[in-house]
Amino acid sequence: MPTTQHSAAAERHMQAAHAHEAAAASHTQNDHLGAHEQSRLAQERSREAHEHTEQLVKAAGEKK
């Protein structure tokens, strides 16, 4: 599988991790609305990362 596909999946995972960290920081600063939005973004990025990874696994299985 091309490295760019793996890089795209890894980038989505990193975006999710960053959003989780931002949500925690917002929560610590008592910005609950901001924390909620960052948590929603983190969940969305995590779902995208998971879906992209599943696509890569499926494509790898089809090539065998």
Query: What is the residue-level pLDDT of the chain in tens, covering all 64 positions?
Result: 456 877 888 888 898 889 889 888 988 999 989 989 989 988 998 898 899 889 888 988 887 6
pTM, to two decimals: 0.73
Structurally, how many domains does the chain consist of?
A: 1
29 sits in the region (left: phi over 0; alpha: psi -120 to 50; else beta) called alpha
Q: What is the pLDDT of residue 5?
A: 75
Provide the domain limits for residue 59. 3-63
